[in-house]
Structure 1
Amino acid sequence: MLKLLVVEDHALVREGLVGLLSQVEDGVHVFESADFESALSVLDSEGDFDLVLLDLALPGIDGFAGLDILRRRYPAMPVAVVSAFDDQPTVTRVMNLGASGFIPKALNGERLLLAVRDVLAGNIVRPSGQMPARLDDAVPLPPSSVSVKPGEIGLTERQAQVLCLMVRGLSNRDIADQLDLSEGTVKIHATAVFKALGVTSRTQALVTAARYGIDFSDVF
């Protein structure tokens, strides 16, 4: 018998997901929890699960911390994040934490079920066709109890250094002098930073860095 667990604090959304997931296959048993702490109790008492579907914006222990705990405690159990926060840095961070999939809540029921079946089949699922974020389209970020390291959102060490110096207000030429690089190389790194953050300009990159509270303490 297939066993799934939905961890979602909004009752209406949770009930909708439970009802939808009951269609994955005949005889599926879908458990539900409103927060991460109660989800751990279910996991401890009910034995092995085939898949956990985890929201990010949970009360108490949020989905980021919860995902990290699950990957450490139950390394063989797949966990898919189901979230409305599907911007590129969030998706990258979730996948880097070991999620088996990222399923946007914006999907219709049929596509969500296809994504769930894909994860159950052992595939890694992530959103496709993501467009760069626009400043005026920015969505609130899911709450997180810890700051974000550059590597968690897909930045290399050098890209993190370039972004850090951008945040400090340095021009590309000043960054080149600081890092002993050519200005052209700095521009290449800056373009890579924009892509990782899902933005298209330096201004948007600075806003995104501030919104995520990126921790630059170890980049130099």
Structure 2
Amino acid sequence: MQLAQKIIIADDHPLFRAALKQAVTQAVPDVVVIEADSLTALQETVEAHSDADLVLLDLHMPGTNGFTGLVFLRGQNPSMPVVVVSGSEEPRVMRRAIEYGASGFIPKSAPLETISAAILDVLEGEVWLPEEVADGAEGVSEDDAEFAAKLASLTPQQFRVLMMLTEGLLNKQIAYELNVSEATIKAHVTAILRKLGVHSRTQAVIEASRLGVEAPKTELG
């Protein structure tokens, strides 16, 4: 007996998660859908459902910054396909997502039928982009690719700390948010700097900004 396919929807907007769930169930009628509304929730979900067939990932969820979530997720779970579903619809952003390991990029403005068809294509092993974008090519710079590989080496907790650093939080504030000691955060920061090959938290934040994507003005997605 074949097990039902399992798809994770990661988006912080409940209405859009509902729309995506509708598109998913149209594409795969007996699918099991698991939802996450932040990167932390997504990490926990992926850990609990390591057999998931696909992740549908928003670029602008709490706890992530542009491509950082995609890069980290692919680094931690290289066998789990990820499709970016975002309101950031510039062709350059779409192509960079593929370069960073996404199996597709679906604009949030796409009709449900298009989203369903794209999901089916990816589940069958294809890489999906809108037709008008698929023919072009724009590679990621060597420096950005090197940084992405370093970012993927962080542990989940180190990644959370780095994202909080990019938000301007102090060590004591991060310690409070994560319910650990300030000394633990200092140790994480030291490890982050070493893994990223930088010498200060300011440099780490600047490096992380390489993978940023400006949020669309009309929709935070």
TM > 0.5 fold call: yes
Task: Map 1:3-152; keep pairs closer than 5 Å.
Answer: 3-130=6-133, 150=141
Q: Secondary structure at the match of 2:131?
A: coil
- Is the 2:144–2:210 contact (alpha carbons within 8 Å) kept by the matching residues of 1? no
**Structure 1 position 47, deviation (Å):** 2.8
- Is the 2:85–2:107 contact (alpha carbons within 8 Å) kept by the matching residues of 1? yes
Against the structure 1 CA distance between its residues 214 and 3, is the aligned structure 2 distance closer, same or farther, given a 3 Å change threshold? closer
- If asked which structure has higher relative contact order (CA below 8 Å, sep 6+), I would say 2
Could you tell me how far apart the structure 1 residues matched to 2:110 and 2:14 are? 18
Could you tell me how far apart the structure 2 residues matched to 1:152 and 1:94 are? 16
Against the structure 1 CA distance between its residues 82 and 102, is the aligned structure 2 distance closer, same or farther, given a 3 Å change threshold? same
Against the structure 1 CA distance between its residues 63 and 24, is the aligned structure 2 distance closer, same or farther, given a 3 Å change threshold? farther
- Specify the code of the residue in structure 1 equivalent to 2:80: M
Could you tell me how far apart the structure 1 residues matched to 2:80 and 2:25 are? 19
**Structure 1 position 151, deviation (Å):** 5.1
**Structure 1 position 108, deviation (Å):** 0.5
Identity %: 35
Q: What is the root-mean-square deviation of aligned Cα atoms in Å?
A: 2.3
Against the structure 1 CA distance between its residues 94 and 26, is the aligned structure 2 distance closer, same or farther, given a 3 Å change threshold? same
**Structure 1 position 26, deviation (Å):** 2.9
Against the structure 1 CA distance between its residues 109 and 153, is the aligned structure 2 distance closer, same or farther, given a 3 Å change threshold? farther
The count of aligned residue pairs is: 139
Against the structure 1 CA distance between its residues 151 and 93, is the aligned structure 2 distance closer, same or farther, given a 3 Å change threshold? farther
**Structure 1 position 109, deviation (Å):** 0.8
TM-score, normalised via structure 1 length: 0.58
Which consecutive aligned stretches of 4+ in structure 1 deviate over 6 angstroms post-superposition?
Answer: none
Could you tell me how far apart the structure 2 residues matched to 1:94 and 1:87 are? 11
Q: Which has the larger radius of gyration?
A: 1
**Structure 1 position 123, deviation (Å):** 0.4
- Is the 2:7–2:32 contact (alpha carbons within 8 Å) kept by the matching residues of 1? yes
**Runs of at least 5 residues in structure 1 that lack an aligned partner in the other structure:** 131-148, 155-212, 216-220
TM-score, normalised via structure 2 length: 0.58
- Is the 1:96–1:152 contact (alpha carbons within 8 Å) kept by the matching residues of 2? no
**Runs of at least 5 residues in structure 2 that lack an aligned partner in the other structure:** 134-139, 146-208, 212-221
